[in-house]
Amino acid sequence: MQIETERLLLRSLRTDDAQALATLWADPKVTQYMGGPRDREKSRQGFEEDAELSPPPEIDLWPVVEKASAQIIGHCGLIDKEVDGQAEFELVYVFAPSVWGKGYATEAASAVKNYAFEELGLERIVSLVDPRNAASERVAIKIGMQFEKETLRPSGKTLRVYALHASDD
Ligand SMILES: CC(C)(COP(=O)(O)OP(=O)(O)OC[C@H]1O[C@@H](n2cnc3c(N)ncnc32)[C@H](O)[C@@H]1OP(=O)(O)O)[C@@H](O)C(=O)NCCC(=O)NCCS
């Protein structure tokens, strides 16, 4: 799997991506609205195991490589999620604070949206946004998603559901 944009490359997970992704998910700032920091060692092992899966899952989060530096600077893609009893595909975007504000999340999320509709044939994607996470909400809006409803998650948090149908894109 590979998606190339002007400045970014999203591609299948490799074993040697595990360290960079574990560092991303262990960052309290990055995970502030995403359930808090994950244990670095556990996630590193988890990513290493995931990289061995053959074939890799179609619905997945992919490492985002910054073409200019060849560094992994984010994790972006799709995950299966149940929302109010409905099976949904959630578009997720997670980037290192050092690259925030450059438009990378919008660039990656927009490319994943196209991949979801055009390559995977999905009918609808959603984003679940913590109301305090203004940057995340902005990315959802910039790629054309529309506010649909609020949902109470099993965690007890109320999140905003942004959605987009393939036919409206
Ligand atoms: C949310 C996140 C992915 C945005 O990444 P990014 O690469 O900085 O996003 P972009 O540069 O493409 O766009 C961010 C937009 O939010 C706006 N923004 C950023 N911080 C903001 C804030 N505190 N208040 C309001 N708007 C804000 C930016 O101005 C920009 O909008 P604009 O282009 O209209 O000016 C990044 O902050 C992140 O990784 N956060 C942690 C993980 C997370 O919460 N992900 C979302 C859940 S899936």
Residue pLDDT, tens place only, 41-99: 999 999 999 999 999 999 999 999 999 999 999 999 999 999 999 999 999 999 999 99
pLDDT at 135: 98
Give pLDDT tens digits for 141-159.
999 999 999 999 999 999 9
User: What percent of the chain lies above the pLDDT cut of 90?
Assistant: 99
118-139 pLDDT, tens digit per residue, is 999 999 999 999 999 999 999 9
Ligand 1 centroid to residue 134 C-alpha, Å: 7
**Which tens digit of pLDDT belongs to each residue from 92-121?**
999 999 999 999 999 999 999 999 999 999
- pLDDT score for 80: 98
Ligand 1 pocket, residue 104 CB under 6 Å: yes
Quick check: CB of 89 below 6 Å from ligand 1? Answer: no
pLDDT at residue 115, as a whole number:
98
Spatial neighbors of 74 by CB under 8 A, at least 6 apart, are: 8, 24, 63, 64, 93, 94, 95, 96, 99, 104, 105, 108
Cβ-in-10-Å burial (0-12, 13-18, 19+) of 29 comes to: exposed
Q: Is 79 in the pocket of ligand 1 (CB under 6 A)?
A: no
Cα(96) to centroid of ligand 1, in Å? Answer: 11
Q: pLDDT tens digits for 20-31?
A: 999 999 999 999
Domain range for 62: 2-168
Question: Model pTM?
Answer: 0.98
φ and ψ at residue 94, rounded to 5 degrees? -140, 120
CATH number at residue 105: 3.40.630.30
Which residue lies with its CA nearest to atom 34 of ligand 1? Answer: 138
Q: What is the 3-state secondary structure (H, E, C) of 92-153?
A: EEEECHHHCCCCHHHHHHHHHHHHHHHHCCCCEEEEEECCCCHHHHHHHHHCCCEEEEEEEC
Of the pLDDT bands very low, low, confident and very high (cuts 50, 70, 90), residue 164 is: very high
Ligand 1 mutation pick, 5, 107, 136, 159, max ligand atoms within 8 A of CB: 136
Number of domains in the chain: 1
